């Protein structure tokens, strides 16, 4: 892969509106498929004539068909969110490091998601549930701003049925909400973590990830058992342009999934 490699053509096969500003696109290759992405990786999605953005893979691993959950936050993501079935988009990748959730085989796997951070964790969860007997407890703790901003609401019970413990909390409920209200870190206390037999994967806003990691450390987990997904201004995807530098890391290559042992000091730095 080089900086000049052209995006591969993919066509939108399916579009699901998850929330008022977030959609999940299923993309199929127009010709040869790119290598199937692994949980944690991202691709560069190109809205022709608008621009290119890094988007984490949110569907099953290793397939030629790609699944991306995209939040409309700017011109490019808005164009992608508006893409209807049949629409053509460009794809480069997949890029970056992986969750390596299988490292938790024989142990407990804990996934902690904040907001849109559930999307990059979903492939790891699906992979773990596909090999459910390989793990002891599989727990998913989800935090969202409000019930209407929760992702994959139709899947939560399916994940429970498949053997995951799924807990959801929102910052602010509504009249119909009967679930938990509070920050996601408050769910950790109830998660009955076995510190030296758990691998934790965290994805969400950086402050949320830092606070979650701190809560896990307070529960006895060491930093090398915690992984976070970091995001910067990924552009080239091949560690050449330097836009995604975070301290010694080029996150398009050395991330997005990084051990908290490495990320801990980087997340606390004021400017990097």
Partner 1 sequence: MTRPELAEFATHPFVRGLAAGYVEQLADRADQVEIAAGQRIFGELGEARGLWLIRSGRVALDLQVPGRQRVVVETLGPGDELGLSWLAPVPRWQFGATAELAVDAWALSSAAVLGLCDADHELGYQLTRRLLTTAIARLHAARIRILDLYALPESTP
Residue 75 found at the interface with partner 1 (CB under 8 A):
yes
208 binding partner 1? (CB under 8 A): yes
CA max distance for the chain: 52
Nearer to partner 1 by Cβ, of 149 and 254: the residue is: 149
60 binds partner 1 (CB under 8 A): no
Q: Indicate which single residue of 205, 217, 223, 245 sits in contact with partner 1 (rule: CB under 8 A).
A: 205
Stretch that binds partner 1, among 2-10, 29-37, 137-145, 155-163 (CB under 8 A): 137-145
Q: Is 211 near partner 1 (CB under 8 A)?
A: yes
Alpha carbon distance 37, 69 (integer Å): 14
Question: How many Cβ atoms sit within 10 Å of the Cβ of residue 164?
Answer: 20
**Least spacing, CB of residue 215 vs partner 1, in Å:** 9
Assess whether the previous peptide bond of 94 is cis (omega < 30° from 0).
yes
Residue 56 interacting with partner 1 (CB under 8 A): no
Q: Residues touching partner 1: how many (CB under 8 A)?
A: 37
For partner 1, the closer CB: 103 or 157: 157
Interface with partner 1 in residues 7-36 (CB under 8 A): 21
Cβ proximity to partner 1: between 102 and 219 the closer is 219
Which of 40, 93, 96, 143 is the binder for partner 1 (CB under 8 A)?
Answer: 143
Quick check: 190 binds partner 1 (CB under 8 A)?
yes
CA dihedral 202, 208, 211, 215 (to 10 degrees): -50
Quote the least distance from Cβ 202 to partner 1, whole Å.
13
In this structure, what is the dihedral angle of CA atoms 60, 115, 52, 65, given to the nearest 10 degrees? Answer: 10
Candidates 36-44, 59-67, 121-129, 139-147; binding stretch for partner 1 (CB under 8 A): 139-147
To partner 1, the closest distance from the beta carbon of 224 in angstroms equals 25
In angstroms, rounded to a whole number, what is the distance separating the alpha carbons of residues 272 and 257? 18
**Given the complex with partner 1, which of 79 and 109 has the nearer CB atom?**
79
Binding-site string for partner 1 from residue 85 to residue 124, where x marks contact by CB under 8 A and - marks none: -----------------------------xxx--------
Q: Which residue's CB is nearer to partner 1, number 177 or number 264?
A: 177
Q: Residues in the site for partner 1, rule: CB under 8 A?
A: 21, 51, 53, 71, 73-77, 114-116, 143-145, 149, 169, 171-173, 175, 177-183, 185-186, 189-190, 204-205, 207-208, 211
């Amino acid at each position: 892969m080089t900086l000049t490699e052209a995006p591969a053509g993919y066509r939108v096969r399916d579009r699901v509106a998850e929330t008022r500003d977030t959609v999940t696109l299923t993309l199929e290759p127009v010709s040869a498929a790119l290598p199937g992405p692994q949980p944690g990786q991202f691709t560069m999605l190109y809205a022709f004539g608008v621009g290119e953005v890094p988007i984490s893979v949110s569907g099953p691993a290793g397939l030629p068909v790609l699944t991306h959950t995209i939040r409309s936050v700017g011109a490019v993501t808005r164009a992608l969110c508006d893409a209807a079935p049949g629409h053509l988009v460009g794809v480069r990748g997949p890029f970056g490091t992986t969750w390596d959730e299988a490292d938790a085989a024989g142990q407990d796997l804990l996934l902690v998601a904040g907001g849109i951070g559930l999307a990059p964790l979903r492939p790891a969860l699906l992979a773990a549930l596909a090999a459910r007997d390989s793990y002891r407890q599989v727990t998913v703790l989800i935090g969202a701003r409000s019930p209407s901003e929760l992702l994959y609401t139709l899947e939560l019970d399916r994940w429970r049925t498949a053997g995951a413990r799924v807990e959801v909390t929102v910052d602010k409920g509504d009249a119909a909400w009967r679930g938990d209200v509070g920050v996601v870190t408050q769910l950790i206390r109830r998660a009955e973590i076995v510190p030296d037999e758990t691998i934790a994967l965290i994805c969400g806003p950086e402050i949320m990830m830092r606070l979650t990691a701190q809560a896990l450390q307070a529960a006895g987990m060491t930093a090398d058992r915690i992984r976070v997904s970091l995001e910067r201004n990924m552009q080239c995807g091949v560690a050449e342009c330097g836009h995604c530098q975070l301290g010694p890391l080029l996150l398009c290559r050395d991330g997005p999934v990084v051990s908290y042992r490495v990320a801990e000091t980087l997340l606390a730095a004021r400017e990097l």
